[in-house]
Amino acid sequence: MQKANNDELILALSKGRILEETAALLDAAGIALTEDPETSRKLIFPTQNPKVKVIIVRASDVPTYVQYGAADFGIAGKDVLQEHGGAGLYQPIDLNIAKCHLAVAVPKGYDYQNAVRKGARLRVATKYVQAAREHFAAKGVHVDLIKLYGSIELAPLVGLSEAIVDLVSTGNTLRANDLVEVEHIADISSRLVVNQAALKLKRDLLQPILDAFSKVAAG
Ligand code: PRT
Ligand code: MG
The answer to the question of residue 3 being in a domain is: no
The answer to the question of residue 2 being in a domain is: no
CA distances in angstroms from 72 to 1, 36, 67, 179, 219, listed in the order given = 15, 21, 8, 40, 25
Global pTM value: 0.94
> In terms of domains, do 132 and 89 share one?
no
Spell out, as residue ranges, where the chain has pLDDT lower than 70. 1-5
Gap from CA of 197 to ligand 2 centroid (Å): 30
> In terms of domains, do 161 and 58 share one?
no
Amino acid of residue 48: Q
Split into its structural domains, the chain has a count of 2
The confidence score (pLDDT) of residue 9 equals: 98
Report residue 197 CA to chain centroid gap.
22
The answer to the question of residue 115 being in a domain is: yes
80: burial class by Cβ within 10 Å (0-12, 13-18, 19+)?
A: buried
- Residue 84: domain span: 9-98+189-217
> In terms of domains, do 118 and 181 share one?
yes
> Does ligand 1 come within 6 angstroms of the Cβ of 177?
no
Gap from CA of 13 to ligand 2 centroid (Å): 14
> In terms of domains, do 140 and 121 share one?
yes
Ligand 1, atom 22: closest residue by C-alpha: 98
The confidence score (pLDDT) of residue 4 equals: 52
> Does ligand 1 come within 6 angstroms of the Cβ of 208?
no
> Mean pLDDT for the chain?
95
The confidence score (pLDDT) of residue 6 equals: 77
> In terms of domains, do 87 and 137 share one?
no
pLDDT tens-digit series, residues 127-137: 999 999 999 99
Which residues have C-beta within 8 Å of that of residue 19, sequence separation ≥ 6?
13, 37, 38, 56
218: burial class by Cβ within 10 Å (0-12, 13-18, 19+)?
A: exposed
Contact indicator for 8, 192 with CB cutoff of 8 Å? no
The confidence score (pLDDT) of residue 111 equals: 97
| CATH classification at residue 66 | 3.40.190.10
pLDDT tens-digit series, residues 9-42: 999 999 999 999 999 999 999 999 999 999 999 9
